[in-house]
Structure 1
Amino acid sequence: MTPDPTLLDDVARLRAGDPQDMLGAVASAGAQIRDGLAMVGDLDLGPRPRALVVAGMGGSAASGDVLVAAAGSACPIPLVVHRGPGLPAWVGPEDLVVGLSCSGTTEETLAAVAAAVERKTRLVTIGAPDSPLEIAGAGAPHLAVDAGGRQPRASLWSLATPLLLVGEAVGVTPGARADLAAAATVLDAVAAVNGPAIETSSNRAKELALHLAGGLPVLWGPPGVGATVANRFACQIAENAKQPSMPGVLSEAHHNQIVSFDGPTARADGLRLVVLADDDEPPASVARVEQSQIAAAEAGVPAVLLRGSGPDPVSRLAGLIALVDFASVYLALLGGVDPTPVAAIESLKARLAEADS
């Protein structure tokens, strides 16, 4: 089906295609940060741990990726985002485990928290109040999150805010509270210029959705901000637009995925490249970003470069994430897809629960 670009400038049709208001949920990101900052006071979590392990799944685990990108390559300890049940064998009492679940009921996260309690690791849980997650923590500090009925993927900053403050408390994201306050302002600004009432000609998120419509998105970024946003974009395209994409990290993608530019999908004008980058990149990453665009142009692959800008990594990350989150919803609406339901996930969870019973 050929997308109708006029849809994007028809607010009534956009609203009709988004009955549960995913666009509004995306626009709430700045408020999520401010609410989180108000809810989480000073944290005393003791000395810096040997390693920090973030245990979560799906949209909840995405906040762990935000922590890793915000901490950057200068982080003094290993940061691990663990997506799965239990914990790696090496995790022990010298480490800090943060169990994240927006609902407080995620099976894999509950198993990870149970393992942390059994091994007597330092533990913090973040999620719904009075939930199985809080109970599983067996008295560990619990930072309550009110997602306001939003889907986990639309509650990224409700979870990332307390997680970054945990990171600040143990010395891996110093200055996080101030950076988050700045990021909230950035998120408000992005929402103001990319909302449904802003015409496509002045709306980067709508332009990005049109760039991707009808093709296979190829999403590349250097380690840190760029790669984190590329992976986020892929997940949002899957859950909101119900479409596949191909995320990759530079320069790893130059050792494999770039060959797809020579294949039949590219020749049929099927690939759409988006390169996501940070204003503060080392020279090697700057070169990889530039060469990605050159390679795409030589292969006839339409390409867009998006750069994060702002005074700190959290603000730059937030601005790019907000842009791609809006774009993923507009891409869904262009395809006639309701962005909110995730029937395949819910069906799979139900089958797994039945098999375990």
Structure 2
Amino acid sequence: MSEYEELLDKFDKSDMAGWTRRFFDDLESAFQRDFDVIEENDWHGVLCVGMGGSGAGGTYLSTISSKAAGLPVHYWRDYGLPSWWGPEWLVIATSYSGNTEETISSVEMALREGGSVVGISSGGRLEDLLKESENSVHIGVPGGQMPRSAFGHLFGTQLSLFWCMGLLPAPSNQELEEMIARLRSSAEEWDPLVGTKAVDAARHISKSEIGIVAPSIMGCVASRFSCQLNENSNLFARCSEVPEMNHNEIIPWTEDSGKSQALVLIRSDYEEARTSARIDWFQNEANFSDRLVLKGEGVSLVEQMLYLSHITDWITIVLAVSIGVDPSEMTAIPALKDHLGKI
């Protein structure tokens, strides 16, 4: 038994590594679904509501849509809905359990004010609410795992829905098959039982505070990576985007403060040319204790996002078991929910 096979066996009690290995299977399954949703051309926009791992896909859809869609796509991670929302905005509500308090609040408000909701969950209160609404649809996903490990099911379903509704240009079946095949091949060595890439990457950032810097086009990926480090690895991490961080956070990075930080740079072929120039300058001028550069692979923006999301999941799992942390454990979140249920 290899070192990391032993560590996973000892600390990964709920098989986060196993769920991560099935990521591309989950995506493929979601891409093959045919949704009974009528294409609608009269929406003013789409609002994606959701929290935590269930809400991450909305940030990805917002970024992708800003480059390819004809409608604005925003996300909302709070109770209720923004003051500017109206029934002419389609709501896509995602809650893996179907019982996320904030998301249910948003859906109830949307239904109360005459809106249309597409809900994605493994059941729960969300499914019950939408079954009672004539103008809404519930789409089920397989249950039985942690929301953050179900990203393939959730984001895959969201993407398929956008393609089916004509909200984003739909790739052909052949293009999807080729993308999944490329992703399986390019990401294989990030599995610590197959290769050493995740182990080597984790060593670069294991002994310092972690700062993730990404071009705006990959800001959603950086944010999800930061959250996965929080939940899977029990580590503090933060993320910032270029060019925005060039107007603030660049200062401590280029002073002595940066020497205590592990710098993670996320790069993509889809970053703006001027953004690339900014990042090139920054990585030469910044101070850091160590540096890790992660480059998106693939022939489309979606493919590069999926690749980076998968390999960063492996990094967080390797970091967790390396320091004796169960990557599935999250005591504080259910404890908070129990507390809120009593008040």
Instruction: Give TM-score, length-normalised by structure 1.
Output: 0.89
Hey, what's the Cα distance between the residues in 2 that align with 1:177 and 1:66?
20
Tell me, what secondary structure is at the counterpart of 2:266? strand
Residue 54 to residue 344, structure 1, CA distance change in 2 (3 Å): same
Which of 263, 281, 296 is equivalent to 1:273?
A: 263
Hey, what's the Cα distance between the residues in 2 that align with 1:177 and 1:248?
34
Gaps of 5+ in 2: none
Hey, what's the Cα distance between the residues in 1 that align with 2:104 and 2:82?
15
**Shift, 1:199, TM fit:** 4.2
Answer yes or no: is the 8 Å Cα contact 1:27–1:191 preserved in 2. Answer: no
| Residues 36-45 or 232-241, more deviating | 36-45
Residue aligning to 2:157: 162
Tell me, what secondary structure is at the counterpart of 1:73? helix
Residue aligning to 1:82: 76
Tell me, what secondary structure is at the counterpart of 1:109? helix
Q: Equivalent pairs: percent with the same residue?
A: 28
Q: Does 1:286 align with 2:276?
A: yes
Question: CA-to-partner distance for each residue in 1:176-232, whole Å, 9 max, x for gaps?
Answer: 5656544433442355211222342xx2x22111111011111011112x2111101
Residue aligning to 2:10: 16
Residue aligning to 1:188: 184
- Alignment of structure 1 residues 76-225 onto 2, 5 Å: 76-129=70-123, 131-137=124-130, 138-139=132-133, 140-147=136-143, 149-175=144-170, 178=173, 181-200=177-196, 203=197, 205-224=198-217
**Shift, 1:265, TM fit:** 4.6
Residue 212 to residue 128, structure 1, CA distance change in 2 (3 Å): same
Answer yes or no: is the 8 Å Cα contact 2:210–2:263 preserved in 1. Answer: yes
Hey, what's the Cα distance between the residues in 1 that align with 2:172 and 2:107?
26
Question: CA-to-partner distance for each residue in 1:130-161, whole Å, 9 max, x for gaps?
Answer: x21012123311111113x2210011121111
Residue 263 to residue 335, structure 1, CA distance change in 2 (3 Å): farther
Answer yes or no: is the 8 Å Cα contact 2:48–2:91 preserved in 1. Answer: yes
Answer yes or no: is the 8 Å Cα contact 2:46–2:73 preserved in 1. Answer: yes
Hey, what's the Cα distance between the residues in 2 that align with 1:122 and 1:182?
34
Answer yes or no: is the 8 Å Cα contact 2:188–2:195 preserved in 1. Answer: no
Report the count of equivalent residues.
339
Residue 39 to residue 76, structure 1, CA distance change in 2 (3 Å): closer
Residue aligning to 1:3: none
**Shift, 1:304, TM fit:** 2.2
Question: CA-to-partner distance for each residue in 1:15-69, whole Å, 9 max, x for gaps?
Answer: 2121211111111111111221233346324225101000101000001122123
Residue 25 to residue 234, structure 1, CA distance change in 2 (3 Å): same
What letter matches 2:282 in structure 1?
Answer: S
Which of 293, 316, 337 is equivalent to 1:349?
A: 337
Residue 29 to residue 103, structure 1, CA distance change in 2 (3 Å): same
| Residues 342-351 or 168-177, more deviating | 168-177
Hey, what's the Cα distance between the residues in 2 that align with 1:101 and 1:206?
32
4+ long deviations beyond 4 Å: 176-183, 262-265
Residue aligning to 1:4: none
Hey, what's the Cα distance between the residues in 2 that align with 1:74 and 1:40?
22
Residue aligning to 1:255: 247
Answer yes or no: is the 8 Å Cα contact 2:7–2:321 preserved in 1. Answer: no
Residue 115 to residue 176, structure 1, CA distance change in 2 (3 Å): farther
Hey, what's the Cα distance between the residues in 1 that align with 2:288 and 2:11?
33
Tell me, what secondary structure is at the counterpart of 2:277? helix
What letter matches 1:97 in structure 2?
Answer: V
Gaps of 5+ in 1: 1-6
**Shift, 1:274, TM fit:** 0.9
Residue 20 to residue 187, structure 1, CA distance change in 2 (3 Å): farther
**Shift, 1:264, TM fit:** 5.4
Q: Does 1:240 align with 2:235?
A: no
| Residues 235-244 or 330-339, more deviating | 330-339
Residue aligning to 1:308: 296
Hey, what's the Cα distance between the residues in 1 that align with 2:158 and 2:68?
18
What letter matches 1:286 in structure 2?
Answer: S
Tell me, what secondary structure is at the counterpart of 1:173? coil
CA RMSD, 1 decimal: 2.1
Hey, what's the Cα distance between the residues in 2 that align with 1:265 and 1:94?
48
